[in-house]
């Protein structure tokens, strides 16, 4: 398995990789993971981690495209070649841009290849505002086309990506496996919710909304702070707890909160251990996802659905592939609309309870862990039945 990310770090794609490996181990597969030199080892059955050489002074890897990632990908290739020259593998499973290497190795070694498609590479350029270069966008599109057409199986993590692969003419190779496993890499803590509120100076009776995640521009954290400022003017007792962000990002966000007069409303915790997140969730009244760009469903949405807490999210494809007005409050990606939705739910405990109950019922019916493992098994059944470079035709239509 080729994973061009810091593994493990508590963020989207590494979480997805973790749970994919865990499911494969539960199914009896043994995985040799080649990844960056950055991240912490995690104990998983049937997993060995092989780290590539590092770059001097590089201790963090930014999310999204970067020259740092490009250099680390080159170093990863050295470790990958050492592995394939010493072990005869049964299959290659690649994530993100390493699909280019995976397809090449598949042809070179005559091995089946599975491409784990977490996002559209050309779309990353706009999501992360990395570059407006038409040439670079074209290169990303060509790489994506090569990875999708050159793989035996393509796993997509949301309906938008499934539609993208289908539009490319190879939908029969694609299998949709939503990231329903969530971010619970460690056991949920026994830390009570009241302790979370006390630790961050939030009154026991204060209406509380919670954001967890990164501070990348597409996440809409700035919009959330603007909404919090509006909320604070009518409900000064309310609080918005924001978990995540690099120290410099948190400092900038605090500055914006002060500038908007929301310093007393928004509470920033910085990054917290993944095992603590369930306690933060239980301490709040409302969960928020204020994304303003992108189409991939946030991984946290699936665990939010199971949480017993209501969700306020922007009414964009990134959310509406999974969320509907019946199970979440969906609003325009604007501060005023978001603040109004927060105020409404924070004032209506019965409505919060009903919304959360319907969300949990949908999660139990459509996004179970059993379904995740079963579909992972289907993906590998296709992989083992197909010839390298060709989609499998031996899986019954009902399983597709």
In whole angstroms, what is the distance from residue 139 CA to residue 100 CA? Answer: 12
CA distance 303 to 307: 6
Beta bridge partners of 212: 243
Q: What is the DSSP letter of 392?
A: -
Cα 306 from Cα 180, distance rounded (Å): 10
Distance CA 153, CA 172 (A): 9
Residues in Cβ contact with 272 at an 8 Å cutoff, skipping those fewer than 6 apart: 243, 244, 280
Backbone angles phi, psi at 303, to 5 degrees: -75, -30
Q: Give the torsion sign (CA, 139, 142, 146, 147).
A: positive
| Average pLDDT for 215-230 | 97
Cα dihedral 390, 391, 394, 400, rounded to 10, equals 170
Give the pLDDT band of residue 190 (cuts 50, 70, 90).
low
Distance of CA 209 to the CA centre of its chain: 21
Could you read off the pLDDT of 26-84 as tens digits, one per residue? 999 999 999 999 999 998 999 999 999 999 989 888 887 788 999 999 999 999 999 99
Question: Per-residue pLDDT tens for 89-125?
Answer: 999 999 999 999 999 999 999 999 999 999 988 777 6
Q: Hunting for tokens 């303003």 — which residue is that?
A: 292
Q: What is the CA radius of gyration of the chain?
A: 21
Structure tokens belonging to residue 25: 């181990």
Backbone region of residue 31 per phi and psi (left: phi > 0; alpha: psi in -120 to 50; beta: other values): beta
The pTM for the full model equals 0.84
Distance of CA 199 to the CA centre of its chain: 27
């Amino acid at each position: 398995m080729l994973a061009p990310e810091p593994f493990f770090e508590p963020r989207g794609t590494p979480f997805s990789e973790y749970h994919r490996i865990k499911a494969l181990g539960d199914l009896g597969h043994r995985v040799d993971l080649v990844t960056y030199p950055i991240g912490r080892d995690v104990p998983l059955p049937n997993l060995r981690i092989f780290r590539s050489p590092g770059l001097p002074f590089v201790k963090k890897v930014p999310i999204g495209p970067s020259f740092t990632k490009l250099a680390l990908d080159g170093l990863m290739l050295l470790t990958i070649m050492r592995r394939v020259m010493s072990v005869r593998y049964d299959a290659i499973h690649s994530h993100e841009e390493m699909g280019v290497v995976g397809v090449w190795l598949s042809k070179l070694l005559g091995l089946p290849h599975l491409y784990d498609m977490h996002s559209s590479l050309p779309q990353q350029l706009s999501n992360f505002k990395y570059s407006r270069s038409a040439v670079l966008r074209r290169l990303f599109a060509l790489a994506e086309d090569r990875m999708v057409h050159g793989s035996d199986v393509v796993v997509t993590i949301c309906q938008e990506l499934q539609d993208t692969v289908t539009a490319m003419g190879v939908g029969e190779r694609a299998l949709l496996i939503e990231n329903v496993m969530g971010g619970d890499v460690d056991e949920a803590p026994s830390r009570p919710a009241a302790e979370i509120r006390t630790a961050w100076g939030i009154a026991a009776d204060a209406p509380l909304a919670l954001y967890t995640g990164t501070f990348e521009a597409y996440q809409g954290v700035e919009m959330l702070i603007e909404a919090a400022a509006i909320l604070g003017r009518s409900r000064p007792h309310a609080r918005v707890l924001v978990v995540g962000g690099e120290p410099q990002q948190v400092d900038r966000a605090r500055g914006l909160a002060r500038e908007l007069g929301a310093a007393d409303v928004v509470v920033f915790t910085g990054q917290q251990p993944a095992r603590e997140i369930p306690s933060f969730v239980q301490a709040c009244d409302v969960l928020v996802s204020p994304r303003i760009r992108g189409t991939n469903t946030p991984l946290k949405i699936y665990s939010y659905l199971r949480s017993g807490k209501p969700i306020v999210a922007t009414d964009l494809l990134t959310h509406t592939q999974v969320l509907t007005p019946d199970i979440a409050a969906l609003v325009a990606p604007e501060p005023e609309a978001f603040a109004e939705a927060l105020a409404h739910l924070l004032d209506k405990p019965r409505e919060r309870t009903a919304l959360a109950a319907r969300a949990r019922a949908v999660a139990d019916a459509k996004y179970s862990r059993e379904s995740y493992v079963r579909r992972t098994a289907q993906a590998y059944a296709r992989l083992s039945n197909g010839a390298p470079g060709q989609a499998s035709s031996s899986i019954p239509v009902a399983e597709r």
